[in-house]
Amino acid sequence: MSTDQQASCLCSAVKINTEKLKHNVGVCHCGMCRKWTGGPLLAIETEGKVSFEGEENITRFKSSQWAERGFCRKCGSHLFYHLLGSQQYIMPVGLFDIDDELFLEHQIFIEEKPDYYSFSQKTKNMTGAEVFAEFEKANNG
């Protein structure tokens, strides 16, 4: 995907610039994401540096020992899931105006997905245990 992708919250008080985005969309069905968003989180991962304009309008919430979530304090838009100690941000895909370039690739915490919705695309599906094992493997070489 092209570099220097821009995004913003609903009220544009926070603008986001990313060096690069992956073009695969992921869905998280974990209970925390569903509580945060009111449904599954449809997200895209950043690569490289991420910068924010309007940083004073971002509220950060440490949602676990390893991550924080950010939202705009003016309009409430969800901005990111950030892995602490890294430059990796996972962002709601709707913040970016790039719909035609994306595809639904994977779903995580599939065992927590409620029965009242489903996606028709065939995707890679991972349990929470598989996600944590993959994360640990990536961080330990």
Q: Give 63-98 pLDDT, tens digit per residue.
A: 999 899 999 999 999 999 998 988 889 999 999 988
The per-residue pLDDT for range 21-42, each reduced to its tens digit, is 898 999 999 999 999 999 999 9
- CB-based contacts of 72: which residues, under 8 Å, 6+ apart? 9, 10, 11, 13, 14, 57, 58, 59, 79
Host domain of residue 99: 3-139
Single pTM value for the model: 0.89
Q: What percent of the chain has pLDDT over 70?
A: 96
Q: How far apart are CA 87 and CA 29, in angstroms?
A: 23
pLDDT of residue 29: 98
Q: Mean pLDDT over residues 102-107, rounded?
A: 95
Q: Which of 3-7, 47-51, 124-128, 130-134 has the lowest mean pLDDT?
A: 3-7
Domain count, the chain: 1
In this structure, how many other beta carbons lie within 10 angstroms of the beta carbon of residue 85? 9
pLDDT at residue 16 above 50?
yes
Q: What is the pLDDT of residue 1?
A: 47
Q: Provide the 3-class DSSP secondary structure of residue 33.
A: helix
Domain of residue 64, CATH code: 2.170.150.70
Q: Which long-range contacts (CB under 8 A, 24 or more apart) does 63-72 make?
A: 63/32, 63/36, 64/32, 69/36, 72/9, 72/10, 72/11, 72/13, 72/14
pLDDT band for 132, please (50, 70, 90 cuts).
confident
